[in-house]
Amino acid sequence: MLAILGSAQAVGVAASLSGGKARNQGFATGMMLPGAGFLYTRDPARFALTAVVFAFSLLLWFGTGNMVLPPVIWIGAAAYAARRASRSNRTWRRAALAVAGATALTALEVGRHRRRSFAQQVAQAEAANVFLGQASRPLEGAKRPDVHVADELDDEELALTRRFVDMANQAPDDWSNWNVIDQFQPAALRYQINAVIDALALQQYTRVPAFKGYLEDAQRQLITRYLEKKVWGYWALENLWGNLEWDPDPAKRQNIMMTGYFAQSLGLYQTVSGDLQHSEPGSLMFTWNDQRRYPLSYGALCASLAADYVRSPWGLVVCEPNWIFSLCNMRGGTGLRLHDRLHGTTYWDQIGDRYRRGFQQELVRPDGMVNGHRSSRVGIGAAGLTLSADLRNLVPNVADRGFLLLQAACRTPDGEIATPFRTDDRLLDPGNYTFNPLAGYAMVMEEAREAGDEELSRGVYRELRERLHISIDNRGWLVAEGASILAHAGLGRALFGRHGGWMDIVEKGMPAIWQEGPVIDSVPYPQVMVARAVSPNGRDLGAVLRTVGRQERVTVTFARLRPGGRYTLTGALEDAVVADDAGRARVQVEVAGRSALTLTFQNGVENR
C-alpha cells in the first residue's frame, strides 16, 4: 500500500515538474490522493466533496467488502479533474508538490504513531510476561472440572430463555422482535440467529441435558429461519463487488461469515440433541429463486470451509472479501472441530497447525491482545480483544494469556472488582450500533465464568446492573434497556455457561449416560419451564420445574426410558409409572412456583 501511494506521489511530482499538458498534470495530481486533481484545478469544494465520498466508500469497503467503489471514485475524480484542467486556464501548478509534501508529513506522523504504539505494546508485553510468569493457566490439568451440570436456572435466566424461545417460535418470515438494520455488518440477522442458537445449546448442555422440548424445538426453528433469503442473500452482492463474480451460492468460497457461524451452530445443536438430520445431503435448502437452489448440509458447509482454509496462504479465511476477522475464523475453527467429533472427519488435523500459526502471526498484537480484523490486501487492522472463551479450544496459549490479563485489569490494587471501562459511556453495542454496555460486559462475564472465576463474573454483572436497567417485562422476557438481540444472546452465554462449559461442549460433547439416559421430552410451554434436568447415572432422572403465577396441573412426557421398565416418582401425582414399548411415559404433575421431580428406575427389561 505504501509503495503504491509513494509511486503515485512520484508520478504526480514528475508530471508537475515536466510542465506537460494541463490535462495530464490534472490526472497525475488526482492520482496522488483522492480528489487532489481538484486542487490543481482550484476547485476546493470538489476536493472536499471527493474526500467525503471517498471516506464513505472506505466505510462500505470495510462494511460490505465492496472493493470496487474506492478505486472507481479515486480514478473517476482524477479523470474529471483532468477534463476540467483541459478546459480552464485557472490551475495551481504547484498542487502536486503541496500534495506530496502533505502526504509525506502525514506518512511520517502515522509512522511515528505506529512505532510509538508498537513500542508501548512491546513494553506492555514485557511487563505482562513478568506477571504471567507467576500466574497459572485456567482450565489446565486438575483445574478443569469433569463434565457436570451447573445450578438450576434462576428467574432472570428463565426469562431470557423465554424471550429466545418465543422469538424462535415466530413464523420464519416474521422479523418483529429482531434487529433488522443491515445484512453486512455485526447487526446482520444471521449473527443474531447464530448467537441465540449457541446460547440455547449451551444452556441445554450446562443446565438441562435431560430435557428436549421447547429448547430443541426452538433451535430447529432457528435453523429453518436461517434458510430465509433475507438472512443469506447478502452474499450475492458481496461476491459481486468483492470478487467480481456473480454467484449467489452461499457456500462456494470465502463466505465464512455464513459457513463458519452456521457450522458452529449446527454442530452445537447436533451435540446437545443427537439430531443429525441436517447432515443429510440437501437437508439445508438455500433458495435464491425458482432456477437457483443450493442444497447443502452441515457436512457440505464444513467441506467448503475446510477447502477455504487449505487454499488460504494465511492459514485463515478471508471474508467480506479481503478482510480476515478473528471472530469469523473462531466460529469456523469451532464448527470444524465439532464436525470432527460428531462425524469422525479430520478437518482440524488438516488445518490446525496452519490455523494456529496464522492466527498468532496475523491477528495477535505484540501485547498479546487479539486484533478484531486485518485486511488481507493492505495489512491494516485494529481493536485489541481477548475472546478467551471461544479461542481456548483453538489457540489455547493466546486465550489463556488474554484472560489472565483481563482478569488482572478487572481488579483494583486493593482487590475490588472494577472493569477498566466502568466509566466509559461509549461502549458500542455491535448488534444495533448504539452506545450500550451490555455486549462488552457480557463478554467479560462469560470469559470469567468459563475460566472458573465466578467471583469476577458475578462482580462484573453487579457493575453492569448499576449502569443498565435490566428487568422482566409483562411478556415474561428479560429486557436490558436499549440493548440489541445480539447483546442479549451474549448475556445468555454468560449466564447459561459454567466453569469449562464451552470447552466441554466443543471437545467432549454429551457423556454416554446423558445420551442414553431418560429425558423429559416435553412440558406444556410456556406454562411450565425446566430449570434443571439431568440423568446422574443413565437410568434415573432429576429435574426442577418452574411456573409463574398460579399452580398448574400439567402433563410431563418422558422418553428414552427402558421399555416395560417400572419407575418410581417423587414430585408427581403418581407414585410410579411403567414405560411403554417405545420407552415413553406420561405423568401428571402439580407445579406451583418451584417443583422438584425425580424418576428412579426400579426394574424391567435392561437396554441392550
pLDDT in tens, 356-386: 999 999 898 877 788 887 765 454 555 557 7
- Range name among 114-118, 180-184, 296-300, 568-572 with the lowest pLDDT average: 114-118
411 Rama class: left (phi>0) / alpha (psi -120 to 50) / beta: beta
- Strand pairing report for 552-559 and 566-570: unpaired
596 SS3 class: strand
Q: With beta carbons less than 8 A apart as the criterion, state whether 393 and 507 touch.
A: yes
574 SS3 class: coil
Cβ-based burial of 325 (10 A; exposed 0-12, middle 13-18, buried ≥19): buried
The residue among 457, 532, 536 whose CA lies nearest residue 146 is 536
Q: With beta carbons less than 8 A apart as the criterion, state whether 543 and 532 touch.
A: yes
Neighbours of 475 (CB within 10 A): 13
Q: Is the pLDDT of residue 200 over 90?
A: yes
The predicted model gives 440-456 an average pLDDT of: 97
- Strand pairing report for 370-375 and 381-385: antiparallel
Q: In Å, what is the CA distance from 37 to each residue of 101, 106, 345, 429?
A: 15, 19, 57, 39
442: its cell numbers: 457480557
- Give the angle 397-400-402 at the CA atoms, nearest 5°: 105
- Range name among 25-34, 395-404, 473-482 with the lowest pLDDT average: 25-34
Phi/psi of residue 2, nearest 5 degrees: -65, -35
Bridge partners, 599 (sequence order): 541, 569
The residue among 529, 538, 554 whose CA lies nearest residue 203 is 529
217: its cell numbers: 424445538
Length of the chain in terms of residues written: 608
350: its cell numbers: 488438516
pLDDT score for 2: 62
461 or 123, higher pLDDT: 461
**Cell 488482572 belongs to residue:** 408
22 or 381, higher pLDDT: 22
The predicted model gives 68-93 an average pLDDT of: 88
- Strand pairing report for 519-522 and 552-559: antiparallel
Q: How confident is the model at residue 155 (pLDDT cuts 50, 70, 90)?
A: very high
Q: How confident is the model at residue 213 (pLDDT cuts 50, 70, 90)?
A: very high
Tens digits of per-residue pLDDT, 82-94? 899 888 878 888 8
CA 502 to chain centre: 14
How large is the C-alpha radius of gyration of the chain?
A: 28
Give the start-to-end residue ranges of the domains of the chain.
Answer: 2-108, 135-186+386-510, 512-603
Tens digits of per-residue pLDDT, 221-279? 999 999 999 999 999 998 888 888 899 999 998 899 999 999 999 999 999 999 999 99
Tens digits of per-residue pLDDT, 485-517? 999 999 999 999 999 999 999 999 999 999 999
d(CA 432, CA 482): 9
Tens digits of per-residue pLDDT, 385-437? 778 999 999 999 999 989 998 999 999 999 899 999 999 999 999 999 999 99
pLDDT score for 607: 45
Q: With beta carbons less than 8 A apart as the criterion, state whether 220 and 242 touch.
A: no
The residue among 514, 579, 571 whose CA lies nearest residue 543 is 571
How many H helices and E strands in the chain? 22, 17
pLDDT score for 384: 59
Phi/psi of residue 298, nearest 5 degrees: -60, -45
CB proximity list for 230: less than 8 A, separation 6 or greater: 173, 175, 183, 189
The residue among 312, 353, 355 whose CA lies nearest residue 331 is 355
d(CA 16, CA 18): 6
199 or 17, higher pLDDT: 199
pLDDT score for 1: 58
d(CA 429, CA 197): 19
DSSP character string of 192-241: HHHHHHHHHHHHHHHT-TTB-HHHHHHHHHHHHHHTSHHHHTHHHHHHHH
Q: In Å, what is the CA distance from 293 to each residue of 229, 288, 296, 400, 604?
A: 11, 6, 9, 43, 50
d(CA 504, CA 347): 19
d(CA 31, CA 463): 52
570: its cell numbers: 417423587
Long-range contacts of 44-51 (CB under 8 A, 24+ apart): 46/77, 46/81, 50/77
Q: How confident is the model at residue 148 (pLDDT cuts 50, 70, 90)?
A: very high
- Give the angle 134-139-142 at the CA atoms, nearest 5°: 90
Rounded to 10 degrees, the C-alpha dihedral 11/13/19/24 comes to 40
CA 131 to chain centre: 30
HSE, side-chain direction, 13 A CA sphere, residue 371? 20
The predicted model gives 115-138 an average pLDDT of: 76
The predicted model gives 464-490 an average pLDDT of: 98
Q: In Å, what is the CA distance from 327 to each residue of 257, 316, 391, 402, 428?
A: 9, 11, 9, 15, 17
54: its cell numbers: 471517498
The predicted model gives 193-218 an average pLDDT of: 99
> For a pLDDT cut of 70, what percent of the chain falls above it?
94
CB proximity list for 133: less than 8 A, separation 6 or greater: none
- The sign of the dihedral angle between the CA atoms of 200, 201, 206, 212 is positive
DSSP letter assigned to residue 146: P
6 or 169, higher pLDDT: 169
CB proximity list for 505: less than 8 A, separation 6 or greater: 201, 202, 205, 206, 268, 271, 272
The residue among 470, 600, 478, 594 whose CA lies nearest residue 529 is 594
Q: With beta carbons less than 8 A apart as the criterion, state whether 323 and 65 touch.
A: yes
412: its cell numbers: 483494583
DSSP letter assigned to residue 142: G
d(CA 28, CA 10): 10
Q: What is the largest CA-CA distance in the chain?
A: 103
- Give the angle 308-309-311 at the CA atoms, nearest 5°: 65
Tens digits of per-residue pLDDT, 513-549? 999 999 999 999 999 999 999 999 999 999 999 998 7
CATH of domain 512-603: 2.60.40
> For a pLDDT cut of 90, what percent of the chain falls above it?
70
